[in-house]
Structure 1
Amino acid sequence: MSNPESGGRYPRPSINQRLVLSIQSGAFEGSYVTKVLETHDGNLKVYAPSFRGTILPIPPGEMLSLHFSLDNAHYEYECQILERFPGPIPTILVSGPDASLRRVQRRSFFRLGANLPVSIEPVAPLPGTPPPGPASEGVTVNVSGGGLLLESPELYPEAAMLDLVINLPDGEGPARLRTEVVRDAGRATPGARGTWFLAVEFLQVEPDVQERITRYIYLLQRAVREERADPEDER
């Protein structure tokens, strides 16, 4: 059943309701909590997805999945970014629920936003050759069982191998894994001391480290579901 603000035959979220926007592919793949600010002709104006105060550079026309709850039911549909609104509080306009809307029993997010400190150790491509850049300290933007998006103070080239030491919050000490840069996702912060977004894939991960990452992602999934289900918690 539609709520009073539906304005049509499809259920839709209400003003001030929290949502989850999921980017299905690319460097910023992951799920981001946001909130409905206004409605315009059936479309939804929401906070722009961001990480640590940096707005993700997702252009108009990009397709996303939008997830929301209503009357103890969970829904998702494919939406499109219609317009971006810069300003002190950047927002985006996304298309409202349509024929792609479906009711779901549960949803697993395989990659979620995560802010974890990372030590980055570039690996020389051949013995006796220099590594593809200096060691540095960065943070994760999102993480999955097979890769992550990294915010790095160094711009490492595509195909560069990086040994990452990630401090997972599980009390089991640092987790080390070898990765490969698969994409330069753009500048994260401007200026001479700016940082970059780098998408990396896991190349070598010990089974116990893989299990720890999978367990951590599960805890993130559960936290997002609980946050989405709390109607009193507003941004």
Structure 2
Amino acid sequence: MTKLSVNINKIATIRNARGHNNPDVVKVALDIEKFGGEGITVHPRPDERHIRYSDVMALKDVVQTDFNIEGYPDARYMEMVRLAKPAQATLVPDPPHVLTSNAGWDTIKHQAELIDIIAELKSYGVRTSIFIGTDLKLIEAAKKIGTDRIELYTEPYASQYHTDKAKAVAPFVTAAKLAHELGLGINAGHDLDLHNLKYLKQSIPQLDEVSIGHALICDALYLGLENTVQLYKRQLIDHEA
């Protein structure tokens, strides 16, 4: 089964707009778990424009499913992971000023530093994952740096899905096949939604986890959070079932 990890950054964005604690990020995380979500993802940025350091510290004590902290592995991020000890740390290569993650790691260019970073994260007892595209050479290099998993950056798939979904998913199928052969776990995320998620799952049965935030929270405004979590989980049911 592919697990659904819900990114709750947008919940924090709404809260921060008014400066109070409504909606309550911790309560929403617990509700998502209650509604069937199998993981909680946060991406705390240095400017705290959505998830704050204090949110991470509060969540670490209450999340019962997989707690996943995404981020650029600077000193601040590494210390946060050391203290919070989430189930998973997902490394993204984007600098602090970008709006959202928009590329994967060059695991050849950054091999030496990533080897050290991943070794340190593993010393904390944390599973590691790195955000990456579908370049097969970079996936082979990902294996060499010691990461447990990769997270496929799926924006190119999502942007081409309505034009030619078979063509859009093809490089991801090839990349996932190689990653699986190399013994890497496979996550996926970015611009996945109720329209394109099922086809991705059917095409890549090896998927361990998808991380979805923006689209899921937008859908929840119309459909309700509990119903939306269940709808996304249904897209991940093995199609043979």
The interval holding the TM-score normalised by the smaller chain is under 0.3
Indicate the structure whose relative CO is greater, using CA pairs within 8 Å and at least 6 residues apart. Answer: 2
Return the structure number with greater strand share: 1
Return the structure number with greater helix share: 2
Give me the TM-score of the superposition, normalised by structure 2: 0.24
Larger Rg: 1
